[in-house]
């Protein structure tokens, strides 16, 4: 079964893709990377690093404007065993409110969600 990761070239995204690659390697399934739009150089470098470690990785480019819907639909259609997302550190006030995309993913995903910090 596959592992899906939402990737943005940032410390949070790097933490997410690294952990997702470990999970995919340990579980023997493919890693499906859902990148943010643009910035392909960083994505290609991350994919090269992951594949060099023996992880089978593929890219699923989001269609439409809502990446959250795309992730949730992908998890469902591919019967993913895990979805990995990166979370950024927040201020004391910000900790009271989880980002709306992260909250929706945590509540609506059809598989376990692993949220990682850098």
Q: Any idea of the CA torsion for 110, 76, 49, 90, to the nearest 10 degrees?
A: -40
> What's the whole-number mean pLDDT along residues 55-80?
93
Which residue did the predictor score with more confidence, 110 or 93?
Answer: 110
Which secondary-structure segment (H or E) carries 75? helix 67-77
- 8-state DSSP, 36: P
Contact 83, 111 (CB under 8 A): yes
Note whether 109 and 72 are within 8 A (CB). yes
pLDDT, average across residues 28-35 = 94
**What are the chain's domains?**
3-116 (3.40.50.620)
Sequence-ordered list of residues with C-beta below 8 angstroms from that of 98, at least 6 positions apart, any chain: 106
Arithmetic mean of pLDDT, 83-92: 76
pLDDT of residue 48: 96
Helix axes 11-27, 40-52, angle to 10 degrees: 30
């Amino acid at each position: 079964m596959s592992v899906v990761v939402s990737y943005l070239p940032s410390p949070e995204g790097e933490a997410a893709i690294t952990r997702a690659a470990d999970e995919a390697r340990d579980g023997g399934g493919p890693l499906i990377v859902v990148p943010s739009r643009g910035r392909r150089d960083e994505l290609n470098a991350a994919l090269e690093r992951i594949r060099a470690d023996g992880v089978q990785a593929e890219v699923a480019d989001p269609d439409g404007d809502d990446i959250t819907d795309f992730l949730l639909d992908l998890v469902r259609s591919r019967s993913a065993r895990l979805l990995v997302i990166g979370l950024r550190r927040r201020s004391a006030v910000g900790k009271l409110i989880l980002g709306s995309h992260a909250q929706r993913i945590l509540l609506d995903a059809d598989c376990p969600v692993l949220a990682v910090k850098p």
